[in-house]
Structure 1
Amino acid sequence: MEHVTRIVIIGGGPGGYEAALVAARLGAQVTVVDRDGVGGAAVLTDCVPSKTLIATADVMTTIQDAPALGVDGGTVTTVDLARVNERVLALAAKQSEDITEDLVKAGVEIVRGFAKLAADGGGTVAVEVAAPDGEDLLLEADAVLLATGARPREMASAQPDGERILTWTQLYRLEELPAELIVVGSGVTGAEFAGAYQALGSQVTLVSSRDRVLPGEDEDAARVLEEVFQRRGMRVLGRSRAASAVREGDRVVVTLEDGRTVTGTHVLMAVGSLPNTEGLGLAEAGVQTTPSGHIVVDRVSRTTASNVYAAGDCTGLLALASVAAMQGRIAVYHALGEAVWPINLKRVSANIFTSPEIATVGRTTFNAESGDPRFDVVKLPLATNPRAKMLGFMDGFVKLYARPGSGTVLGGVIVAPRASELIHSVSMAVDLHLTVDQVASVFTVYPSLSGSIAEAARRLHSDHED
């Protein structure tokens, strides 16, 4: 393969900007074409703002749980949503600025506009850019990376108006806390916002088309979260598929497929996402897509068109910023002729930012049963952990999976406050193919939540011995 010197990246989200930084460090001439703002949805409307909002909700949860620890302020704590959202948007904007500054320092050219693939330029790839000022640009590249992300899916019978019927990108415009929020969709996005707004002070109804929240996640973890939701006053409607949502004055009415109705002051439609792949000239360029519109890629991010790569939510591989970034880095490593490890989703760690958080890595019950059912498992309730008792954390558990015989750690699930931080040690064990004995032999602080990880590993060793 010839050495690539010119790379054009369409999209400035994690898949795009991480790839741009790597390519620039390797000496490539890099241009990022972005239309919505550097950082993409992850920084401007999704991960960064939602987790900033959830951080405020976590404070409210701590205050609400404080009496169990003997702390009672004697006053009612309320949330000023306008100030919260002002901070949310300011932090997202600053993160975008920081990423832009990093790109500029690395020598990356940033072009504002809407880009699409053009005709084959005889060994190179041409990209047409419609700039905001009306001028069109034609960029020649040795390789192109498509990192255009995704957007909220909208139902024709529940069209968002930005005021009462909302997508998750529109929530940050609210200046007053919804008194009665209906969340349609019990996947990760729906569960996170439902839990956050319940903590902030809204009365939340969560509408799930399945029989439980988080239907695609670990069943034990989902059960714990649903019990916590209901104990905190949330109304959870299982097996209740929404047919429509309409506004009636200052109220909204959600009609379910079985004819029942749910009313509230606002509704959040969290019913999935769609890839931003329209208008990119994919078919003309020979880039294959799935029936859902996602770009087909292999494990090194190649599409079906020569010298065209894709990364992130537009590929439908796994909708995580970390996965998008890894796909983007792998793409430019491959394009530039560097050594590269194909992406391995068995090593991906993920977190659901509810309270408690749910963190997973590697093989869990959900995918192990369908892929390789031969595993040993131990689950330790968080309520038995001394540090958890001191902090008043009673909901959750640590679960580890290991290969019978060798004791190699295959994966884990942690349901706990700050599970996103605790999962890292399990992620290292999975990535480095450590055994439960190796994990168990590492010193842990006493008392600590991480002590339950070592204890679970010790019990897996004992089970093996038995």
Structure 2
Amino acid sequence: MSDPSTALPSDPRRLPDTGGRPRVVIIGGGPGGYEAALTAARHGAETLLVEERGIGGAAVLTDVVPSKTLIATADVLDQVAGSQQLGIRDADTGSAPTAHTLNVDLAAVNQRVRELAAAQSSDIRTSLEEAGVQIIEGRGRLDGPDRIEVLDPAGQRIAQHEAEVILLAVGARPRELDSAPCDGERILNWTQLYALDCLPAHLIVVGSGVTGAEFASAYRALGSEVTLVSSREKVLPGSDADAADVLEDAFARRGVTVRSRSRAATARRSEEGVVVTLTSGEEITGSHVLMALGGIPWTSDLGLWTAGVRVQDSGHIETDRVSRTSVRGIYAAGDCTGVYPLASVAAMQGRIAMHHALGDAVSPLIATQVCSAIFTSPEIAVVGVSEQEVLDGEAAGEVLVLGLDTNPRAKMQGITEGFVKLIVRPGSHTVVGAVVVAPRASELILPYTLAVAHRLTAEQVAGTFTIYPSLTGSLAEVARQRVLDVEA
């Protein structure tokens, strides 16, 4: 992400003073695209949205919504697995229920996943149509700095549109290995999991980043044997080290096999399933393999060179903090920019782009205010400055940590894993970062996100009322460590 004051134009393309509405054309109907379209339409712009794979994009149809729906089912089974200590017994046998004594109908689970994704896509389409957005089905690409063309599946041009403002929000596709081509049956990428009718007996997950960790956690809870192949020493490389430790402990307790410092060289089908060969020559056999190796932006055939849009070596479109590209009037948002692979960030980028292009005052994207979550069990949520940045001297901060083992609500619910971590500025005690590891950490991180965004102090967080008993009580309690240290 470039500095807007140096690398990119200082103002957007001037909109023609014709007395009519400016035309905005958006390529891509994912969160970056549809949020931009809604914003532009509400500003009175003539708005066209071009999408070839379905409204909502990968986030709604094949990624975020489906995966989190699947994980919601896994969460129920995970709660059942931990119910023994709560005194729950099977009515017939008197023994403690476990997730593995229940039958998972994966065909029904995946049918629900697909139906919810389709319903969400339909809801978004309705919102766009009600806002006056014209939806065009087809593949959009640039045909110069102020014009786009729409192609049919055969690659033939079916329409051409000029625009004062263009937004590129084409997303990314799963990365695959040439030596492990995905077939949608045994060797899978994350978009293909929802066609499975039977639970994998043994799922090998290649890749220990967010996607790999989430699916490893979910499928183990559903009842699959899971082996996670990680090229790093720890899972979740680049994440909070303490959070990664908690997740690895949870994996060990739940029976997930983690093969650290291992890299997959090939994956092939066998008579009974799949064989993954590591670069060491060792072979791992399983019923299915999930290739969770990150994403590649859909920019190779977007016509970027015809318009002069600068692209990074990775294929990501270069943008500044208000989503401008190197060409005046052309903006970009979402995974194709490589800023953060988060639906929430894509949506914010799209809204910022339209506010800027249509003349509104706008606040640029501030990286330290971006919150994100990993939907494993337990969940991990973070915002702002990390502890590693403090340790590396990249940011000044004091780190406060409190385990959930002392939290009364956690004890009542049988929660034994997790912690809250607060990072504050020395002297002022301004909250600059936080980590929450807990069930529903994705919900619990919001107070800390507000604290970072509005520069609240540890004292202000500590002095805020919380419910007793609640997990949020620990959010304030950890801040009191700083208050008590000052008073002492």
Normalising by the smaller structure, the TM-score range is over 0.9
- Post-superposition Cα deviations, 1:284-321, rounded to whole Å, max 9, x if no partner, equal 21001111100000111000112110000000000000
* Corresponding residue number in structure 1 for 2:71: 54
Task: Indicate which of 85, 103, 124 corresponds to 1:78.
Answer: 103
Cα shift at 1:276: 0.5
- Post-superposition Cα deviations, 1:121-157, rounded to whole Å, max 9, x if no partner, equal xxxx110101359661010100100000001000001
The answer to whether the aligner puts 1:5 opposite 2:27 as a matched pair is no
Cα shift at 1:370: 4.6
- Post-superposition Cα deviations, 1:348-403, rounded to whole Å, max 9, x if no partner, equal 11110001000001111134445633211111011111110110001010000000
- SS of residue in 1 equivalent to 2:336: helix
Cα shift at 1:462: 2.4
Opposite residue 133 of structure 2, the aligned amino acid is: V
The answer to whether the aligner puts 1:332 opposite 2:354 as a matched pair is yes
Mapping 1:152-163, distance limit 5 Å: 152-163=174-185
Moved more, 456-465 or 100-109: 456-465
- Post-superposition Cα deviations, 1:203-255, rounded to whole Å, max 9, x if no partner, equal 00000000011011000000000100111111111101111111112221111
Check the 8 A contact 1:378/1:456 in 2, yes or no. Answer: yes
* Corresponding residue number in structure 2 for 1:440: 462
Task: Indicate which of 34, 38, 52 corresponds to 2:51.
Answer: 34
- SS of residue in 2 equivalent to 1:163: coil
* Corresponding residue number in structure 2 for 1:198: 220
Task: Indicate which of 124, 144, 148 corresponds to 1:99.
Answer: 124
Check the 8 A contact 1:114/1:131 in 2, yes or no. Answer: yes
The 3 A distance-change label for structure 1 pair 101 and 370 is farther
The 3 A distance-change label for structure 1 pair 18 and 370 is farther
The answer to whether the aligner puts 1:216 opposite 2:238 as a matched pair is yes
- SS of residue in 2 equivalent to 1:303: coil
The answer to whether the aligner puts 1:460 opposite 2:482 as a matched pair is yes
Measured on the aligned residues, the alpha-carbon RMSD in Å equals 1.3
The answer to whether the aligner puts 1:65 opposite 2:82 as a matched pair is yes
- SS of residue in 2 equivalent to 1:315: coil
Taking the aligned partners of 1:394 and 1:383, their CA distance within structure 2 comes to 6
The 3 A distance-change label for structure 1 pair 159 and 132 is closer
* Corresponding residue number in structure 2 for 1:116: 141
Indicate the percent of aligned positions where both proteins have the same amino acid.
59
Opposite residue 152 of structure 2, the aligned amino acid is: A
Cα shift at 1:2: 3.1
Taking the aligned partners of 1:465 and 1:313, their CA distance within structure 2 comes to 46
The answer to whether the aligner puts 1:311 opposite 2:311 as a matched pair is no
- SS of residue in 1 equivalent to 2:456: coil
* Corresponding residue number in structure 2 for 1:348: 370
- SS of residue in 2 equivalent to 1:127: strand
Cα shift at 1:119: 2.6
Mapping 1:28-427, distance limit 5 Å: 28-73=45-90, 74=93, 76-120=101-145, 125-132=146-153, 136-370=158-392, 372-427=394-449
Structure 1 residue ranges without an equivalent (≥5): none
Taking the aligned partners of 2:193 and 2:404, their CA distance within structure 1 comes to 33
Structure 2 residue ranges without an equivalent (≥5): 1-13
Opposite residue 226 of structure 1, the aligned amino acid is: E
The 3 A distance-change label for structure 1 pair 465 and 284 is farther
Taking the aligned partners of 2:270 and 2:75, their CA distance within structure 1 comes to 32
Taking the aligned partners of 1:465 and 1:13, their CA distance within structure 2 comes to 50
Cα shift at 1:180: 0.4
* Number of residue-to-residue matches in the alignment: 462
Opposite residue 80 of structure 1, the aligned amino acid is: D
Taking the aligned partners of 2:486 and 2:316, their CA distance within structure 1 comes to 43
- Post-superposition Cα deviations, 1:423-446, rounded to whole Å, max 9, x if no partner, equal 000011001100011111111111
- Post-superposition Cα deviations, 1:312-337, rounded to whole Å, max 9, x if no partner, equal 00000000000000000011111101
Taking the aligned partners of 2:135 and 2:285, their CA distance within structure 1 comes to 46
- SS of residue in 2 equivalent to 1:299: coil
Check the 8 A contact 1:112/1:132 in 2, yes or no. Answer: no
- SS of residue in 2 equivalent to 1:119: coil
Moved more, 276-285 or 218-227: 276-285
- SS of residue in 2 equivalent to 1:413: strand
- SS of residue in 2 equivalent to 1:325: helix
Cα shift at 1:77: 1.0
The 3 A distance-change label for structure 1 pair 371 and 328 is farther
Q: If the length of structure 1 is used for normalisation, what is the TM-score?
A: 0.97
Taking the aligned partners of 1:250 and 1:272, their CA distance within structure 2 comes to 27
The 3 A distance-change label for structure 1 pair 280 and 32 is same
Taking the aligned partners of 1:92 and 1:150, their CA distance within structure 2 comes to 18
- SS of residue in 2 equivalent to 1:346: helix
Taking the aligned partners of 2:78 and 2:426, their CA distance within structure 1 comes to 40
Taking the aligned partners of 2:388 and 2:300, their CA distance within structure 1 comes to 33
Check the 8 A contact 2:186/2:287 in 1, yes or no. Answer: yes
Opposite residue 405 of structure 2, the aligned amino acid is: A
Opposite residue 119 of structure 1, the aligned amino acid is: G
- SS of residue in 1 equivalent to 2:144: strand
